[in-house]
Amino acid sequence: MLANILLPLLALSGTICAASTFKKRMDYSEKGSVKGVNLGGWFVIEPFINPSLFEAFGDDIPNDEYHYTLSLGKELAYERLNEHWGSWITEADFETMSGIGLNFVRIPVGYWALLALDGDPYVQGQLPYLDQALEWCAKYNIQAWIDLHGVPGSQNGFDNSGYREDAEYLAWFQGDNLNKTYEALSIMSERYGGANYSDVVAGIELVNEPLGTYLDINTIAEYYDTGYKMIRDDLDLVTDVIMHDAFRDQNYWDPYFQLYDYWGVVIDHHRYQVFSTGELARTIDEHVDFVCKQGADTASEYHWSLTGEWSAALTDCTYWLNGVGRGARYDATYQSSTKYGTCDGINDISTWTDEQKQNTRKFIEAQMDAYDQGAGWIFWTWKTENALEWDFQRLVYEGLVPQPLTDRQYPNQCGY
């Protein structure tokens, strides 16, 4: 519905871009070259993005896609998810993205779309829709990363991996899970990293958000090394290889992958400031100063890097953001005894004060400027059902994301 509203407005303003195929891959050495969005909640469903899919279970709501499909059984799960895959993202979305100045999408895909494992409840059928999405990318001059967002055993225990679990139960490195991950990565890379999509697929991301603060970081590094060599040597592809920072500090990966053989490595940073009480306690000026410092530090990184996830969120109030049945730290209903404010009306822009709107626009503009010090940014996420702080499309419509993207109501916040 929102796309139907945005497109006529953009067409009238003359901002719709001419559609053409890319002549070369994205140049990550060029500051601010990437301006994109994640297609979250499409091939990996998340309760905070797609609550209606989960609310249908009534009092026994599953935490993640694994338990969603387990509860429904394969036949019914496929029926519901196939309908979702065919409607959540459409060609109109790509036309709108192009019209508002975006040139990039990051597409999360779970291993189960690529590889069926015995005993898994997951269902398949996602890949034809992904193929179609890449055709739309070519039509509207948009490039893509294909991101292995969930792996066997879970790499982080978050619902965005397909399976939510406490960290001590992570099983990615147990049994045959790592070998199966390589198998899924090989299928994904061979299908999307080759000649058929050479003008569209700018990179393959080896895994999303491995929990490097808990899992053995040396094993993660070995996985990165082997995954890189699989793509470059075994499959003989020239696709750029994307490595998430594994929640380590900004320059942590500088000593790794420095030989000439490791050409085309891109480090993916995810930047949020709402998942701890210390971050929530910051003033808007402190939020801005923090991202400005991140941007300044980008110049010291050895590898190409960009910010592959960020949002407009200044609170963790979004429904189910912290997991099904969990409240928010911001209003002291989850993991906090300090109340920083109320979550009432967080998704209803009509209830926002002028100060809330101004602070959100300031924060968005500062992040764009900061992350442009690297190769650019990819917002999480393009659309949600009702999570305003995380919904790029709605934020554009409400005037909180600049249009054009270079417009600034609060210029020079970072002083670059």
Phi, psi dihedrals of residue 106, rounded to the nearest 5°: -110, 125
| C-alpha 188 chain-centroid distance | 18
Q: Are 48 and 320 in contact (CB under 8 A)?
A: yes
Query: Could you give the residue numbers annotated as active site?
Result: 209, 309
Strand partners, 150: 110
Q: What is the DSSP letter of 164?
A: -
Q: Cα(258)–Cα(251) distance, rounded to whole angstroms? A: 13
Helix or strand holding residue 293 (H, E): helix 284-298
Q: Are 273 and 287 in contact (CB under 8 A)?
A: yes
Strand residues in 320-390 grouped as ranges (E) = 376-379
Please, where are the H alpha helices in 101-176?
A: 127-139
Instruction: List the structure tokens of 27.
Output: 């140049």
Helix or strand holding residue 285 (H, E): helix 284-298
Q: Is 68 helix (H, G, I), strand (E, B) or coil?
A: helix
Residue with tokens 């499959």: 235
Strand partners, 108: 147
Q: Cα(147)–Cα(208) distance, rounded to whole angstroms? A: 7
Nearest Cα to 214, choosing from 256, 173, 273? Answer: 173
State the number of CA atoms in the 13 A half-sphere of 222 facing the CB. Answer: 8
Q: Cα(32)–Cα(372) distance, rounded to whole angstroms? A: 4
313-336 in b/e form (b: 16+ CB < 10 A) is: bbbbbbbbbbebebbbbbbeeeeb
Neighbours of 369 (CB within 10 A): 23
Residue with tokens 């189910």: 320
